[in-house]
Amino acid sequence: MGLLLRAEPEGPKFMEAYPQLKIILRKAWWLQFTQKFRGHNKEVTKTFPRSFNGVEVEVGDLKFSVTEASIAATTEFPQEGEW
């Protein structure tokens, strides 16, 4: 049996392929957040969770702490309560 080649749409093309997803994300107030990832670097995206130790992340020469405050500032989600 040969190798399986799987190609899926990614980034904005994913939402173009599944327009109902865009509607769902907009209703849940997540659309604006997901659009921030346009133009992301795949290798950095993979490195982030691999290097995260629960407190800080190291990506290349960059090392930084990940806190509730930094997540709230980056995502623009409130730091307290449910959203």
Instruction: Tell whether 39 is covered by a domain.
Output: yes
The number of distinct structural domains making up the chain is: 1
pLDDT digits (tens, 9 = 90+) for 13-64: 666 777 888 788 788 777 777 776 666 777 877 888 889 998 999 988 989 8
Instruction: Tell whether 3 is covered by a domain.
Output: no
Instruction: Tell whether 1 is covered by a domain.
Output: no
Quote the CA–CA distance of 26 and 30 in Å, as a whole number: 6
Quote the CA–CA distance of 9 and 27 in Å, as a whole number: 22
Residue bearing tokens 């327009």: 19
pLDDT of residue 55: 92
Q: 4 falls in which pLDDT band (50, 70, 90)? A: low
pLDDT of residue 77: 76
Instruction: Tell whether 59 is covered by a domain.
Output: yes
Instruction: Tell whether 54 is covered by a domain.
Output: yes
Instruction: Tell whether 44 is covered by a domain.
Output: yes
Tokens matching residue 48: 């982030």
- Can you give the residue range of the structural domain that contains 50? 13-75
Tokens matching residue 19: 């327009």
Instruction: Tell whether 7 is covered by a domain.
Output: no
pLDDT of residue 63: 92
Residues 56, 64 contacting (CB under 8 angstroms) = yes
Angle 35-81-51 from CA coordinates, rounded to 5°: 55
For 16, residues 6+ apart whose C-beta sits below 8 A from its C-beta are 9
Instruction: Tell whether 82 is covered by a domain.
Output: no
